[in-house]
Chains A and B, each alone.
Chain A
C-alpha cells in the first residue's frame, strides 16, 4: 500500500475518532468538571484567605505567601501545578473510557473488521488523548488566569508584565505540564487495552496515581537502603522535578498546596524517566492491540 493511501486511511481514522469525541457527552462533562474543580479550589482558598492569618507560629507569613501565590504574577507555576493534579484525573478518565468503552460496547471489532488497520485505530486514539490533555490543560489554565485576575484585583496584587517572554513561559510550562500528565493517560490506555474494560483501566490508573505518592513517602523513609532509590524511577517524583521548571516558590512560609520548593531530581533525568514510562506504555498498548484477539 502506498504512503499516500496509508496516510489517507489514517486521516479517516483520525476524523472518525474526532467525530466520536466531539459527539460524546462525556467529553464536555469532563471539561466542565475540570473547570469547576479549578474554580472550586480558588474559591476554597479565597474563603481561607478571607478568614485572615491563623494565630500559629508563621501564620501571617503563610497567609501572605498563599495570597501572593494565587496572584496573576504567580499564575504560571501555581495554575499549572493545579492543572497537573486536576487534569490528570480528568484525562485518565477520558483515556480509560475512550479505549475501554470500545471493548465494552464491542465497537472495536466492528471497526477493525471493516478494514481499518489496528494501528490506525489506536494511533488515532493516542493523538486524541494528547490533544485532549492539551485542551484540558489550556482551558483549566485560562480559568486559573481568570481567577487570579479577580484575586489580584481584590487584594491589589501584582499582575506581572504580559510580554512575549511571559507568553513563551506559558507555552513552555503548558508543554511541561502536558508531558507530566501523559504517562498516567497512556497508563490508562494500556490498562484499558490489557483488560478490555473502561472501569478497570480508570480505577487502576487513578489508584496508581494516588498510591504512588504514598508508596514514595514510605520508601523515602528507608534512607540508606536501596529501597529509597525506587521512587527515582517512578512517575510522580520525576513529574515534580519537571513541574519545578515552571517556577518555584521560594518565599518565606511556603506557598500553600501544590507549590514546589527547591530541590528534587535533576531535570534531564526526570525527563528521561518520564519519556521511558511514556514509551513503555505506548509499546505495550500497540503490541497488545496488534497481536491479541480483538474479542475473546
Chain B
C-alpha cells in the first residue's frame, strides 16, 4: 500500500455559477515529484489552493500526511512549503527581512537557515534589496526560498519558473530533483509540458476543472516510438508495407507514412523497402512526449 502525502477525493469548488473544480481525485505518493499540468483556468491552481486550505471545497475531502486538513489543517500545513501563483511578500521589506518575518511566524530555521535558503536560490547578493524592487525572476527565487525555509516534507510550487530567465529556469529545474532527493514530496503546477516531463515522475492532466489523466509519467507517455517516412513514391511504399509484418501499424499522416511501435525497426524497414525497390527520402524515429499525450487526451476531451 503506497503512502500518500496528498489524498484528495471528490473535490468540488464552485464560484457562484462557475464550477472551477469538478470531482477531482488526486493522490501523491511520498517522495515523488508530481506534476499538475493543464492550461490556464483548468482548475489546477484552485485545487492547489484547496490543498493548502486557502479555499474551502464545496464537496470532497483533502488529507495531508494521512490526516484530514478539515480537523488538523494548521498543524499539517506547518509541514508544507508553498508558492501559489506569483510569490507574495511584504513589498517594503527586503528579501532577507521577508524570510525573517516568515521565520517569526513559524520559527525553527533561524538566521543560518535564512542564509542557506537564500544561497540555495542564488539570491544572497540581492537579499538586502526591497522586495518591491525585485524582478519577477528574483521574486520567484524568493518564493522558493520561503517554501523551503522551514524544511517542509511537502513542497507545492505553482508555476515556479514563470518569469525566470533561461539560466534561472535551468537552476530551478535542477533544484526540484535535488529537493526530491532529500526525501521531500513535490507538487509542481505548470502549463509547460516540457518542464513537467523533465522533472516530474508522475503527472495529472487538468482540463476544465477535471483530471482527465493521472499516473506515472513514463507509463502515460508510453515507451513505444513511431517511425516516420517521407518519399516521392508514398503510395508504392504504402503498398509494399501492406504486405510486410508492419502492415497492421501503418497509417498515413499527411504526406508522411507512419509506422506505429516500430521506432527501433528503422534499419530493417529501410532494408525491406530497398529490397522491394523503394527508396525513402527521410526516415526518422519519433519518441512520444508528454506533449503528444497531453494533446491526445485534451483533444479527445474537447471532442467529447
Residues from chain A with Cβ under 8 Å of B76 in the complex: 115
With A12-B107, A24-B92, A25-B92 as given contacts, are A1 and B75 in contact (CB-CB < 8 Å)?
yes
Is residue B271 within 8 Å, beta carbon to beta carbon, of the partner chain?
A: no
Q: Of all chain A residues, which has the CB nearest B56?
A: A293
Contact A12 B101 (CB under 8 A): no
Give per-residue flags for B76-89: 1 if the beta carbon is below 8 A from chain A beta carbons, else 0: 11111110110011
Contact with B along A254-296 (1 / 0, CB 8 A): 0000000000000000000000000000000000000101111
Which of these, A105, A112, A115, contacts B91 with CB under 8 Å? A105
A110 touches B146 (CB 8 A): yes
Q: In this complex, what residue of B is CB-closest to A111?
A: B105
- Tell me which of B90, B100, B106 contacts A116 (CB under 8 A): B106
B297: chain A residues at CB < 8 Å are: none
| Chain A interface, number of residues (Cβ within 8 angstroms) | 27
Rounded to whole Å, the gap between the CB of B154 and the closest CB of chain A is 11
A19 at the binding interface (Cβ < 8 Å): yes
Instruction: Confirm or deny: B123 has a beta carbon within 8 angstroms of a beta carbon on chain A.
Output: no
Number of A-B contacts (CB under 8 A): 89
Tell me if B287 is interfacial: C-beta within 8 Å of chain A.
no
Contact assessment for B77 and A113 in the assembled complex, using a CB-CB cutoff below 8 Å: yes
Is A15 among interface residues, defined by CB-CB distance under 8 A?
A: yes
Given the known interface contacts A13-B105, A24-B92, A107-B90, the answer about A113 and B53 at a Cβ–Cβ threshold of 8 Å is yes
Q: Are A105 and B84 touching (Cβ within 8 A)?
A: no
Q: How far is the CB of A120 from chain B (nearest CB, A)?
A: 8
Q: Mark B94-112, 1 if CB is under 8 A from A, else 0.
A: 0001001110111100000
CA of A83 to CA of B294, assembled, Å: 65
* Closest A residue by C-beta to B84: A109
B66 at the interface (CB under 8 A from A): no
In the complex, chain B residues whose CB is within 8 Å of the CB of A15: 104
A229 interfacial by beta-carbon distance below 8 Å: no
Chain A, 212-231, contact with B by CB distance < 8 Å: what is the 0/1 string? 00000000000000000000
B74 near A117 with CB under 8 A, answer yes
Docked complex Cα distance between A291 and B54 (Å): 11
Residue A107 contacts which of B78, B88, B106 (CB distance < 8 angstroms)? B88
In B28-71, the 8 Å CB interface with A consists of 49, 52-56
* List of B residues within 8 angstroms of A57 by Cβ: none
* Cβ of A166 under 8 Å from chain B: no
CB distance from B91 to the nearest CB of A (A): 6
CB closest residue in chain B, given A16: B104
Nearest residue (CB) in A for B54 is A294
A16–B101 Cα distance when bound, in Å, is 6
Least CB distance, A269 to chain B, in whole angstroms: 40
B15–A114 contact, CB under 8 A? no
A112 touches B54 (CB 8 A): yes
Task: Specify which chain B residues have a CB less than 8 angstroms from the CB of A116 in the assembled complex.
Answer: 74, 105-106
Contact of A114 among B89, B93, B105 (CB under 8 A): B105
Chain B residues within an 8 Å CB radius of A106:
85, 88
Count residues on chain B whose CB falls below 8 Å from chain A CBs.
35
CB contacts (< 8 Å) of B90 on chain A: these are 20, 105, 107
Contacts of B54 in A (CB 8 A): 109, 112-113, 293-295
The reply to whether the CB of B191 lies closer than 8 angstroms to some CB of chain A is: no
Chain B residues with CB under 8 Å of A20's CB are 90, 93, 101
Chain A residues with CB under 8 Å of B53's CB are 112-113
Q: Kindly state the separation between the CA atoms of A294 and B52 in the bound complex, as whole angstroms.
A: 11
Chain A: which residue is nearest B97 at the CB level?
A23
CB-CB under 8 A from B88, the residues of chain A are 105-107, 109-110
B70 CB to closest chain A CB, in angstroms? 13
Q: What chain A residues lie within 8 Å of B91 (beta carbons)?
A: 105
Instruction: Mark B114-150 against chain A: 1 for CB-CB distance below 8 A, else 0.
Output: 0000000000000000000000000000000010001
Measured CB to CB, the nearest residue on chain B to A119 is B74
Contacting pair A110 B15 (CB below 8 A): no
**Given A106-B88, A110-B102, A295-B54, CB of A115 within 8 Å of CB of B93:** no
Residues of B within 8 A of A105 (CB): 88-91
Does the CB pair B105–A296 fall under 8 Å? no
Chain B residues near A110 (CB-CB < 8 A): 84, 88-89, 102, 146
| CB-CB nearest in chain A for B102 | A114
CA distance A293 to B49 in the complex (A): 9
Nearest-Cβ distance from residue B94 to partner chain A, whole angstroms = 9
Are the C-beta atoms of A12 and B104 separated by less than 8 Å? yes
A114 and B106 within 8 A (CB): yes
List 8 A-B pairs, minimum CB-CB distance, nearest first.
A115-B78, A106-B88, A115-B77, A16-B104, A113-B52, A293-B55, A294-B54, A16-B105
Chain A interface residues toward B at CB < 8 A: 1, 12-13, 15-16, 19-20, 23-25, 105-107, 109-117, 291, 293-296
* 27 A-B residue pairs with CB within 8 Å: A12-B104, A12-B107, A19-B101, A20-B101, A23-B93, A105-B88, A107-B89, A109-B52, A109-B84, A110-B89, A110-B102, A110-B146, A111-B105, A112-B53, A113-B54, A114-B77, A114-B81, A114-B102, A114-B150, A115-B74, A115-B75, A115-B106, A116-B105, A116-B106, A293-B55, A294-B49, A295-B49
Other contacts beyond A106-B85, A110-B146, A117-B74: 19, CB < 8 A = A16-B102, A16-B105, A23-B92, A105-B91, A107-B88, A109-B54, A110-B89, A112-B54, A113-B84, A114-B105, A114-B150, A115-B75, A115-B76, A115-B77, A116-B105, A291-B56, A293-B49, A294-B55, A296-B55
